[in-house]
Amino acid sequence: MKVLDNKDFGFVRVAAIMPRVYLADTVRNTAEIIRLAGEAAAAECSVAGFPELCVTGYSCGDLFGQKTLLDGAERAVEEIAAAGIHSGTLIAVGAPVLCAGRLYNCAVLIKGGKILGLVPKTYLPNSAEFYEMRWFESGVNVDKELVYAGQTVRLSTKQLFSVGKAVVGVEVCQDLWVPVPPCTYAALAGANIIINLSASNEAILKHDYRKMLVSSTSARLNAAYVYSSCGYGESTSDLVWAGSSVIYENGVLLAENERFLRESSAIYADVDVEKLNSSRAKSPNFRDAASRRAESYACVNGGAAFPTDFNAKLLRSVEAHPFVPSADTLAQRCREILSIQVLSLCTRLEHIGCKKAVIGISGGLDSTLALLVTVLAFDKLGLDRKGVIGITMPGFGTTSRTKGNAGILMEKLGISSREISIVPSVTRHLDDISHPLNVHDTTYENAQARERTQILMDVAGQEGGIVVGTGDLSELALGWCTYNGDHMSMYGVNGSIPKTLVRTLVAFAASEHFDGAQDVLSDIVDTPISPELLPAAADGTILQVTEDVVGPYELHDFFLYNVMRWGFTPEKVMFLACKAFAGRYDEATILKWFKTFCRRFFSQQFKRNCMPDGPKVGSVSLSPRGDWRMPSDAYSSLWTD
């Protein structure tokens, strides 16, 4: 992908490193730290966190009162700095630091031979297991300049460290476990990556709780969290340390090490700081909290990040179908989505005192999902399913497969069904406006869509019901709907469901709620997506396949999610798409349909500005009343160019 070479796309490579510990042997610990830091540099890593007190080992006990150990630790830090680890890598190592007669448990930040700062631990454990107050003092109020390891450095908790686009905040082990951890204030001051130098022992269920704590903290702060804990070599007199280390980004696990190893190990991940910054910028609550903080942090400039080649290797997965739940959460998420759709329709029907719903049933995916949701809503309200009026309206392009499936589905679900052909009325209408019947243009197609909508609206008026819309989020994004045709309804239950998710929901609903209709629902899921507005082939095969015209929906949904959810640039979306769809679409194909997406998205805003009410289901919605307010006259040139 030559046009995108040598760009970082907002990524920063981070590492959590777990050295094998030689307790109180600072010489061997130093050699191991330098070796592992070199490996991090070789891996093009910009930020690397080591465990708490790793230059000495955490479990030295009263040896921390020995000047010999403290002098050895200071020499270790000096040697690590002098080793001149690549100037692009910021490393954080743990060491005991003596200052003005007080001993502090510190993170030492080093980059390119320079010690950038010392961050002391704030909250010291004082329990039967951990008794740090015996040796160390909290650094909560300390802010001093001192000469340490041959360099003049600042000792303070109120420090951040910038490396390229990353702003790094630091805390030490127990700091995370308190009601308001220091990382909260660091994040509000601008830190988008938090490093935790830890020495967290193992106990039954503690690992799960620790992961939950790191995950929730990273999500709450819209930050990446690099948690590195000590492992093999620490004293096992009473406790066991297993090197439990994780890397999370905004609540999502990016990397986790194997615990209980007998050797050193490291985990790496590419953190998307651009995504984190975008998420913060879109959060009024985060902005308000940041504006009200009283703490003042100094940001130490650590220089440029490592010139990592993310195009050659990206250490994170890129989900090709971001709207579709993963296999392990599929049932739970689909159940929740359907519940949102069903409850929203129940509320609307009950509010207006309506016991009838009219739906156009095409035998396609969207109308099927809308029908299933409506039937479940009627069941929830205790209404007779016969109050659901399904109307199939065969036209010039209707195939026997879709028409047959529509009829079977309505029969299986026990709803009222009607068949009203639109061929006579549309033929008459086209004749009225002097449009040849053999000219299969947009007018020819739109006339059919609007006639169907007119039928649905008028039947709803006859029956005292409402028209339940079938259009989905992907169609709204592309404007792939006829204005005041299938674009319009009285309530749109699918309005925030993208096409890739529609198929998943129909398949799930078939197995969860509609056992008797599984065969027909399975065939609907397998039917090519088509509006069937153009005549079929002589053998009845669908010729007008939507994805042949507008492009693959899986690509458009990918574009939609990354542009709308995160505000990514076209270059970054292209980069991510090429990673996600490698081996399925080449770069030229992705670029072609991305240009189509941008052009259609901008030109079709006028349809979204008057879209019907409908429930928001996920993080992306195009409702002009809340989630997406855009002028219909905006140009797409900055994106397409």
Q: Place 564 in a pLDDT band, splitting at 50, 70 and 90.
A: very high
Architecture of the domain delimited by 11-301: 4-Layer Sandwich (3.60)
Residue 522 CB partners (closer than 8 Å, separation 6+): 507, 510
pLDDT of residue 1 exceeding 50, the answer is no
Rounded Cα gap, residues 392 and 403, in angstroms: 7
Average pLDDT, the chain: 94
**Average pLDDT over every residue of 344-359:** 98
Question: Nearest CA to 541 among 438, 398, 441?
Answer: 398
Give pLDDT tens digits for 401-434: 999 999 999 999 999 999 999 999 999 999 999 9
Give pLDDT tens digits for 116-170: 999 999 999 987 677 899 999 999 999 999 999 999 999 999 999 999 999 999 9
**Average pLDDT over every residue of 215-226:** 97
Q: Place 4 in a pLDDT band, splitting at 50, 70 and 90.
A: low
pLDDT of residue 561 exceeding 60, the answer is yes
Assigned superfamily of 327-640 = HUPs (3.40.50.620)
Six token digits for residue 24 = 């109180």
Rounded Cα gap, residues 40 and 92, in angstroms: 12
Q: What is the pLDDT of residue 541?
A: 73
Q: What is the pLDDT of residue 294?
A: 60
Q: What is the pLDDT of residue 5?
A: 54
**DSSP helix/strand/coil, 16:** strand
Rounded Cα gap, residues 89 and 37, in angstroms: 8
The structural domains of the chain, with segments of one domain joined by +, span: 11-301, 327-640
Rounded Cα gap, residues 211 and 213, in angstroms: 5
**Average pLDDT over every residue of 484-501:** 96
Rounded Cα gap, residues 413 and 334, in angstroms: 20
Q: Are 614 and 623 in contact (CB under 8 A)?
A: yes
Residue 548 CB partners (closer than 8 Å, separation 6+): none
Q: For residue 142, what are the CA distances in angstroms to 99, 189, 460?
A: 10, 19, 73
What does residue 115 show for φ and ψ, rounded to 5 degrees? -85, 115
Q: Place 544 in a pLDDT band, splitting at 50, 70 and 90.
A: confident
Enumerate the β-bridge partners of residue 166.
Answer: 163
What does residue 583 show for φ and ψ, rounded to 5 degrees? 90, -10
Q: What is the pLDDT of residue 534?
A: 82
Rounded Cα gap, residues 487 and 78, in angstroms: 69
Q: What is the pLDDT of residue 127?
A: 75
- The pTM of this model reads 0.92
Q: For residue 14, what are the CA distances in angstroms to 268, 390, 400?
A: 6, 55, 57
pLDDT cut 70: percent of the chain above it: 98
Q: What is the pLDDT of residue 401?
A: 93
| Active-site amino acid positions | 52, 121, 173
The helix or strand, by DSSP H or E, that contains position 357, with its residue range, turns out to be strand 357-360
CA 25 to chain centre: 43
399: exposed, middle or buried (C-beta count within 10 Å: 0-12, 13-18, 19+)? buried
* 250 residue type, one letter: N
Q: What is the pLDDT of residue 128?
A: 66
pLDDT of residue 483 exceeding 80, the answer is yes
Q: Are 484 and 453 in contact (CB under 8 A)?
A: yes
